[in-house]
Structure 1
Amino acid sequence: MCGQNPSLENFIWTDIVDAEVQTRLQQLHSCTDVKLLSPSLCDWVSSSGIPGISSARSDEIPAIYTRLVKHYIYHRVACMISQFTEGLNSCGGLWDTVKSHWEVFVPVMTSAQQQPLTLEEFKHLFTICYNHSDCQLRASEEETIGHWETVLKMISDGQAEFFFEDLLAFITGADHLPPLGFLRLISLRFYSQDADKSRVRLPHASTCALELFLPRGAASAADLLALLSRAVYDSLGFTRFLTEEH
């Protein structure tokens, strides 16, 4: 779509949605001798715009596979692609910008593999909202933040049952950073545990407001990590506030 000519010989056939096309491409991709191609596969290749497959040489199979992939992912839907790009260009020439800087837009326009979040990247997503009117609450909040810093280091070192991406999805609904970032920093807020020690309130989040709530005065980094782990794995939706028994 951007005028590039990537090699498609090793295109992953499972990325094609149509089950029959998947099967046909798999058969062709794994074939090393054109004489072993079944008549039905030859007919299918011919009907896809590549006649004379039965008389092709075995060393031409990769090129035929490439042409078929390009047919199914591009030429077959070229009319719809044109409509899509014209629509983008109607917004101030957006598609021309994408074509000129296609490498930058790969994470936006495709499901390209995202780099794992680093400790520093994750820490910089937050702003801490301390209580400024109650010194005792402020002290317990600072204690929690100390444990929070340790927890983040533990996640970074692989000592947790989840990754930064899992925690980000719990907080925001997105498991990776948006290309242009979030509209604002995530507010890290606090709540107090109930006096009833037989019950515990788990950390919770508001994905719409970009807020994460942690318990004041967490006993230790290990305790905070355990609470976060339960919150992440027990979460069922965008915002969930759980009260659970020990």
Structure 2
Amino acid sequence: MTVEYSEAGSNIRSQEEDTVYCLEVFLQESEDKKTKTSLGDFLTFVTGADSIPPLGFSNQIHIIFFSKERKMRGYPTASTCGLDLHLPRGYDDPLEFTTLMEEAIINGKGFGKL
């Protein structure tokens, strides 16, 4: 994965690093089967594919951040064509982030899979 961070030393950068830490915890717990979703579910959410193609993907997953509105849950979204994962800044609680990520994956129907 590549991460598009803000300027080093800024408050926004610190919030982005917190979110990336929560993502890393989420991915590890998904691998350990401690979440409601699997790594395969995450891969499908971000890429639209349920497995890695034989020749791999044309580029890496690219993480882009956005600022969520106060008192609102900024759900992660993905652009599967560009392999872009849009994450909200400012999550520093891995449990809260895991819940948010699980909800985004489970409720994101994707490609007409209703």
One-letter identity of the residue aligned with 1:152: L
Please report how far the alpha carbon of residue 219 of structure 1 lies from its aligned counterpart in structure 2 after TM superposition: 3.2
Partner amino acid, structure 1, of 2:25: T
Q: How does 1:65-84 map to 2 (within 5 A)?
A: none
Length, aligned pairs only:
111
After superposition, what is the alpha-carbon deviation per residue over 1:89-131, rounded to whole angstroms, capped at 9, x for unaligned?
xxxxxxxxxxxxxxxxxxxxxxxxxxxxxxxxxxxxx111111
- Letter of the structure 1 residue corresponding to residue 43 of structure 2: L
Q: CA deviation at 1:148?
A: 1.4
Query: Structure 1 residue 134: deviation in Å?
Result: 7.4
**Aligned equivalents of 2:88 and 2:65: distance in 1?**
6
How far apart are 1:222 and its partner, in Å? 0.7
Find the counterpart in structure 1 of residue 31 from structure 2.
Answer: 156
Q: Secondary structure at the match of 2:2?
A: strand
1:236 is aligned with what amino acid?
Answer: K
2:76 and 2:9 mapped to 1: Cα distance?
21
Please give the residue correspondences for 1:1-246 in structure 2 after superposition, counting only pairs within 5 Å: 126-132=1-7, 135-195=10-70, 197=71, 199-238=72-111
Q: Distance in 1 between matches of 2:16 and 2:77?
A: 16
What amino acid sits opposite 2:88 in the alignment? P
After superposition, give the CA deviation of every residue in 1:146-203 in whole Å (9 maximum; x if it has no partner): 11111111111111011111111011100100100000111011111102x1x31210
The two structures, once aligned, show a CA RMSD in angstroms of 1.5
Aligned-pair CA distance for 1:237: 2.3
**Structure 1 unpaired stretches of 5+:** 1-125, 239-246
Give the letter aligned to residue 232 of structure 1. I
Instruction: Write the distance in 2 (CA, Å) between the matches of 1:172 and 1:229.
Output: 16
- 1:133 deviation in Å? 7.2
Moved over 6 A (4+): none
Task: With a CA cutoff of 8 Å and minimum separation of 6, indicate the structure with the bigger relative contact order.
Answer: 2
Residue type matched to 1:139 in 2? S
Report the identity percentage: 36
Q: Determine helix, strand or coil for the equivalent of 2:73.
A: strand
Deviations 1:192-229 (A, max 9, x none): 1102x1x3121000001110011111031111110110
Give the TM-score taking structure 2 as reference length. 0.90
CA-CA distance at 1:136 after TM superposition: 1.2
Task: Point out the structure with max Rg over C-alpha.
Answer: 1
| 1: CA distance, partners of 2:87 / 2:38 | 18
Q: Which runs of 5+ in 2 are unaligned?
A: none
SS in 1 for 2:54: coil
Q: After superposition, give the CA deviation of every residue in 1:9-58 in whole Å (9 maximum; x if it has no partner).
A: xxxxxxxxxxxxxxxxxxxxxxxxxxxxxxxxxxxxxxxxxxxxxxxxxx
TM-score, normalising length from structure 1?
0.43
